[in-house]
Amino acid sequence: MPTLFAFRLSTYLTLALACLCVSYAEWNVLRQASYFGAVVLALLGLAFWCEGRYELDLSAANRLGFIIGIVAAGWIAVQFVNKNSLIYTLPWPTSLLPYLGPLLMILMPAKLFRPKHTGDWWAMQGIGLVAAGLATAIEDDAVFVVLLGLYAVAGVWSLSLFFYLRVGGLLPPVPRTDPGPMPTILASQVQVERVQFGGHFFGQTLVWVAVAVLLALPLFFLTPRSSAPPWQFGKTRLETGMTTDQAVDLNKAGELQVNREIVYEVRARTRDGSPHLGLPGEQRFRYYTFANYDAGRWQKIASTKQNTVYARGTSVPLEPLVNVVPDFGPDQLDLTFTAKISLPAPVLADPVAWRVGQPAPVSNVADGSLWFQPQDGFFAPRRSTIAKTMSPDYRQLVAFNPPPDRDLGPPFELSVPFLPAGREARPENPLVQLRTVRLPRLRAWSVDFFKRLALTDPVIAGCLGRAIDEPEFQFVPRDYEAVAVRLAAYFNSSADYQYTLKLRRLDLTVDPVEEFLVQTREGHCERFAAATALILRCVGVPTQYVLGYKGCDLDEAGVYTIRQENAHAWVDVLVPRPAPPGFPFAGKPPEELDGQVVVWHWLCIDPTPGTEAEAAAATPGGLAGLWSSAVGFLSDFVVGYNAERRRQIVQSFARWVLQGPGRVVLLAVALLAGLPAVILIARARRQRRPAVAQSGLTWFDRYLALVRKSGLQADPGQTPRESAAAIDRALGTDAASLLVERYYLARFAGRPVAADEAARLDGLVATLNAKLAGRTS
Amino acid sequence: MSNAPTARTRVRTTRAAWVWVLTAGIITVVGWYKSINLLVLGGYFLLALLAVNLRLAWRASSRLRAVRHATPPAFAGETVTVTADIVNEASFPLTTLVTAEAGANRSAWMFSPLDSGDRKTITARWNFARRGRHALGPLKVDSSYPLGLLHVERQLAADESVLILPLVGKIDLDLFRYWLTRQEAGAGETHRPSRRATPGNGDVRGLRPYRPGDSPREVHWKTAARRNQLFVREYDQTEPMDLVLIVDPWLPAADDPEAVRRLEWVLSLAVSLAVASAVSDSPAELTLIVPGTPPAAFHGRATTTFVRRAFAALAELDGRADVPLVPADFVRPRSNRAARLVLSTRPRGPTAQALRAAGLTCAEVTPDRPPSWFTPPLALAAKNSSR
């Protein structure tokens, strides 16, 4: 029987681990909750020490509960007042979830200082479970999974000890219930000595947890995945890929998990309809563009006629609406996109090709209806033609510029006259939006950076020579392209900045881009792109931040697949180029820069280095290697398990069974498992057969078996003597009575049967058997 | 002893189990819908633990065997010891609960654990307030190991019964003897207890000269001083008083609680007389005659064992309106030198009248005229509780 101490220890440990799970999960979301968790852990320790020594009476406990409720309500009210709190930064009602953590945690010590009955202990376990579940919805990295696993083990351990004490009547029962009779506790002597130390209970717990996990895992793997958008609370894309609540928050830290879920399938055909298998492996597909950066976040701003940079008239016509396609020449490609997950916006091959005066290059496959251009260079389906959450298949006609202009978008006029940075007449001037940087330190750093770069790059040096200082330092438009390209090249090849998926934030008070450039000097594509975009803005170059996908896989059927792991970020830079001959200006005087008529292009630059820093490192061995493998398994098969992974597992298993050694292995497993199953079934059947009562005396046991077999066993309430008398009357003998009387003497009168007498009694049994046999025949 | 029954195994859920299942379901569904894989796995884990509970509890309940011991008859109000042997037939230790109940009496034993092959005897000490055959409910195993969420119940041993004899009151034997000598309870003549001299305790009969071997304590010194010779006291020792108790369990046809009380009084008187005789210094020969067709007679030396065995007939004796008369010829040979007592629920009952008519003297005791030498059990209980 476990001791009360072991039970208390296990329960408090379980609750402490639940608190730890919540504190860890909320560390990056609501830091206050984590600090509060530390306080609760201390209170749990105090409650553990006080258990049995001091207890609050019911009225004092109620008063304490009331005070806690008031404090909690006040704290929540403060959160509502604070406009920067999670209530306003996260969608409602999800934003309330982090606040549940502290409320749950404070319930634990509040209840533990009171006298407790069985129901209270159940309630504590429930609170712990809810807290752990809440934490699971917020966090899922490897460390958290370890904490959760420890919580599960401690919880099962605590529940098993709780069972012993509850059934043994050693805990106060729930008031106003019938607890049943107080049991007498019996144990085999060896066990009495062993269990007082409680060790083997924990060992058994590990076995049960392991069995439960082994039962749960197959169910988990076989469960089909939901088609609803995945939950991304508090993670803000800490795995590769796009999600529905698209937000680019560079303040988050953690290890980015690779997600291999397929996002789109693309079929490419040439103009004559034949499959095109030559899409470059680095092909980009754009998704969202962001223009507004503030406090570590890129935000999308709805395009309006006022803030778009494209000139009116420099666009595709709004009519006709269906079944017409533009003509981009003999190198035109026809791409058909099929979405595999639900995303709120489509992707388009980048750069998106379109011609002034020609129909939109994107249309729905189902009805041929053309998409429209909302005057920001992108195309979107008309609202009347698509379902709310799932875009139908659509086709895009593209024509890529030959190198070196492969990354150059179509030409267009600006909607406003070009002015240097700081001289834009109106704050709502679209160029202002594309140049805004609210980081003074970054501005100074950027100028200094280019000055340092100029020492080794004569092109930059030339650009610096032409740059103007009024009203602020900025490069001249003719140098925008050169500066941007060289900046991207610098980040591509610099040894000072490393690519990594392990995002760090050392100082939350510093802007993440500044921290990236000055302190951490490592990050993933978003940080490189954000830094590039902001540096260029600091020197007067208009940029926008682009999210999308880079790269696609070609399978045997000629289908390109775009996966979440291909998610990427890059920068669009607004650059002037001499206007091509015959460019259809929209009627106003064409823009001239340095005496030349120019048109504008979005130029895509990709500053992200090609490889991850750790890729070159050798695979760690020993414990680190084991940890790495475990984390990888967890990421691929538990946390990151999705429909795509499930499909791969099923396909791999099918291939292994059909083509590999799977059939032989499965057959062997079936045989090995089947044999014990047969044995168990046979044993269960044997045990179901009613056993004959054992008296410990073989001759009497044979008598009982004989009586039972003949159907003459005693009626309920009938004594053996009465039963024997009835048998004798029926058979006309006295053997049964003699046997019973001798049994009584042996069993109750302390007169054991000697060997010779046993033989005589056996003879009586034989006589009875003969009588019974004669009776039935 | 009983046969191991073939009762079905029953699974009983607790409220905690339902909450457990509901929680697991919510966690799984929410986790599945929102693709929070850890929640899905957690929900399945909870359900798997439930399955583990069920499996282990089932296994524990199916490997236990019980052998019930016969329970001898006891008097009402007396502690009855009910025992059984529990054996673990599994190859592993078992942790489980065994329960037994009989009316308001309930007992439970928790094996925590019982080693493989080990045998333990469980003992229940119960109390039955009323006479009769009381069912000892089945021995059940209730296993919910190891989490206590699902209970697997199975009957280990079938119902049995225990015979409870009527409540025992208090008899003042001296008063009773005195009363008896005043009644015409003997054969033919007023029965006087025959006396014989004894050096032991008893009524002082007289003095006699000292004989070697007499105890110096019995020397009457005054007489010795006066007579200059040692004299010792001599005591009367009465012979054991053989009794023939004839019970007349008359009850009116209509339900009458008072009549039932009178019947219990009579039965209690009968066993009280028997028990008092059995525990006295000189137990007598006792005969109990119970009317019936034919009447039943139980004869033997008044020992505790005999009383429990013989008076078992009174445990389940039901009163009736048409009590058959006990023939005088049935009583005569069994009561030659014994005092005959008719214990009847009705005054001047036909049994006593018939015996007297047949020339057999007898004394009649009825609840209407309760004798002073008998304190009924309820009065005894009231007296004890008032102390």
Residue A97: what pLDDT? 84
* Helix ranges (DSSP H) in A82-181: 86-89, 97-112, 118-138, 142-167
Highest mean pLDDT among A264-273, A529-538, B29-38, B290-299: A529-538
Query: In whole angstroms, what is the distance from residue B205 CA to residue B192 CA?
Result: 16
Longest distance between any two alpha carbons in chain B, whole Å = 120
Least confident among A93-102, A448-457, A536-545, B52-61: A93-102
Share of residues in chain A with pLDDT > 70 (%): 85
A719 contacts in B (CB within 8 Å)?
A: 70
A713 contacts in B (CB within 8 Å)?
A: 3
pTM: 0.65
Write the pLDDT tens digit of every residue in A15-38: 999 999 999 998 878 888 898 899
A195 contacts in B (CB within 8 Å)?
A: 112
Residue A83: what pLDDT? 75
| Paired tokens of A20 | 């730890």
CB contact under 8 A, B93 and A717: no
> CA distances (Å), B14 to each of A181, A558, B9, B50, B108, in order?
18, 58, 16, 12, 19
**Residue among B125, B135, B124, B123 nearest B164 (CA):** B135
* In the predicted structure, residue A127 carries a pLDDT above the cut 90: yes
User: Which of B49, B112, B115 is facing A190, going by the closest CB pair?
Assistant: B115
Q: Which of residues 122-161 of B touch A (CB under 8 A)?
A: 122, 133, 135, 144-148, 158-161
CB contact under 8 A, A215 and B52: yes
CB-based contacts of B375: which residues, under 8 Å, 6+ apart? Answer: B169, B170, B171, B172, B383
Q: Which residue segments constitute the domains of chain B, with CATH numbers given?
A: 10-165 (2.60.40.10), 170-191+240-386 (3.40.50), 196-238 (no CATH)
Nearest 10 degrees: Cα torsion B71, B77, B78, B80: 30
For residue A320, say if its preceding peptide bond is cis, omega within 30 degrees of 0.
yes
CB contact under 8 A, B33 and A717: no
Average pLDDT, chain A: 81
**Residue among B103, B136, B131 nearest B265 (CA):** B131
Q: Is A215 helix (H, G, I), strand (E, B) or coil?
A: helix
**Residue among A122, A135, A222 nearest A173 (CA):** A122
> Quick check: A552 contacting B, CB < 8 Å?
no
Chain A: residue whose CA lies nearest to B133:
A717
Residue A624: what pLDDT? 77
Query: In whole angstroms, what is the distance from residue A55 CA to residue A342 CA?
Result: 55
B145-159 average pLDDT score = 90
Q: Residue B107 is inside which H or E element, if any?
A: strand B105-114
Q: Which of residues 11-70 of B touch A (CB under 8 A)?
A: 16, 19, 23, 27, 31-42, 44-45, 47-49, 51-52, 62-63, 65, 67, 70
Residue A605: what pLDDT? 93
CB contact under 8 A, A191 and B23: no
Query: In whole angstroms, what is the distance from residue A16 CA to residue A625 CA?
Result: 30
Of residues A458 and A189, more confidently modeled: A458
Query: In whole angstroms, what is the distance from residue B43 CA to residue A342 CA?
Result: 26
DSSP secondary-structure letter at A520?
I
Answer yes or no: are the C-beta atoms of A360 and A370 closer than 8 Å: yes
DSSP secondary structure string for all residues of A434-476: HH----HHHHHHHHHHHHHHHTT-HHHHHHHHH-B-SSS-B--
Least confident among A181-190, A729-738, B62-71, B171-180: A181-190
φ, ψ dihedrals at A164, nearest 5° = -60, -50
| Paired tokens of A407 | 């990354």
* In the predicted structure, residue A420 carries a pLDDT above the cut 90: no
Answer yes or no: are the C-beta atoms of A160 and B146 closer than 8 Å: yes
Of residues A85 and B222, more confidently modeled: B222
- B23 Cα to chain A: minimum distance (Å): 9
User: Which of A133, A213, A684 is facing B39, going by the closest CB pair?
Assistant: A133
Answer yes or no: are the C-beta atoms of A300 and A546 closer than 8 Å: no
CB contact under 8 A, A717 and B109: no
Q: Is A77 helix (H, G, I), strand (E, B) or coil?
A: helix
CA B270 to chain centre: 15
Residue B178: what pLDDT? 83
Longest distance between any two alpha carbons in chain A, whole Å = 137
CB contact under 8 A, B42 and A748: no
Q: How confident is the model at residue A613 (pLDDT cuts 50, 70, 90)?
A: very low
DSSP secondary structure string for all residues of A617-645: SPPP-HHHHHHHHHHHHHIIIIIT--HHH
Tokens 């429909």, residue located: A643
In 10 A of CB A382, how many CB atoms? 12
φ, ψ dihedrals at B192, nearest 5° = -110, 135
CB contact under 8 A, A217 and B109: no
Least confident among A62-66, A218-222, A234-238, B245-249: A234-238
Interface test with A, best of B19, B26, B35 (most A CBs within 10 A): B35
* In the predicted structure, residue B246 carries a pLDDT above the cut 70: yes
B33 contacts in A (CB within 8 Å)?
A: 226, 228
* Helix ranges (DSSP H) in B87-163: none
Answer yes or no: are the C-beta atoms of A528 and A607 closer than 8 Å: yes
CB contact under 8 A, A230 and B110: no
> Quick check: A191 contacting B, CB < 8 Å?
yes
**Residue among A44, A114, A471, A511 nearest A296 (CA):** A511
Answer yes or no: are the C-beta atoms of A601 and A408 closer than 8 Å: yes
Q: How confident is the model at residue A715 (pLDDT cuts 50, 70, 90)?
A: low
Q: How confident is the model at residue A701 (pLDDT cuts 50, 70, 90)?
A: confident
> Quick check: A290 contacting B, CB < 8 Å?
no
Q: Is A452 helix (H, G, I), strand (E, B) or coil?
A: helix
* In the predicted structure, residue A53 carries a pLDDT above the cut 60: yes
Tokens 């049991």, residue located: A183
**Residue among B136, B181, B366 nearest B269 (CA):** B366
| Paired tokens of B126 | 């119960």
φ, ψ dihedrals at A769, nearest 5° = -60, -40
* In the predicted structure, residue A200 carries a pLDDT above the cut 90: no
Residue A755: what pLDDT? 76
Q: Residue B312 is inside which H or E element, if any?
A: helix B312-315
Query: In whole angstroms, what is the distance from residue A25 CA to residue B57 CA?
Result: 36
Highest mean pLDDT among A529-538, A688-697, B131-140: A529-538
* In the predicted structure, residue A478 carries a pLDDT above the cut 60: yes
Residue A632: what pLDDT? 73
- B286 Cα to chain A: minimum distance (Å): 24
Query: In whole angstroms, what is the distance from residue A420 CA to residue A438 CA?
Result: 18
Query: Helix A118-138 crosses helix B37-62 at what angle (to 10 degrees)?
Result: 150
Between A and B, how many residue pairs show a Cβ–Cβ distance under 8 A?
Answer: 185
* In the predicted structure, residue A237 carries a pLDDT above the cut 50: no
Q: In what order do the strands lie in the sheet with A559-563?
A: A362-364, A394-398, A333-339, A262-269, A559-563, A553-554
**Residue among B307, B268, B314 nearest B291 (CA):** B314
CB contact under 8 A, B70 and A1: no
Write the pLDDT tens digit of every residue in A728-739: 888 888 888 889
* In the predicted structure, residue A315 carries a pLDDT above the cut 50: yes
Answer yes or no: are the C-beta atoms of A250 and A526 closer than 8 Å: yes
B1 contacts in A (CB within 8 Å)?
A: 693, 695, 720
* In the predicted structure, residue B385 carries a pLDDT above the cut 70: no
* In the predicted structure, residue B154 carries a pLDDT above the cut 80: yes
Query: Is the confidence metric ipTM above 0.85 for this complex?
Result: no
CA B183 to chain centre: 32
| Paired tokens of A250 | 């560079």
CB-based contacts of A279: which residues, under 8 Å, 6+ apart? Answer: A266, A268, A333, A552, A554, A560
- B32 Cα to chain A: minimum distance (Å): 6
Q: Which residues of B148-172 are buried (b: 16+ CB within 10 A; e: fewer)?
A: bbbbbbbbbbbbbbbbbbbbbbebe
Of residues A504 and A156, more confidently modeled: A156
Burial of B328 (0-12, 13-18, 19+ CB in 10 A): middle
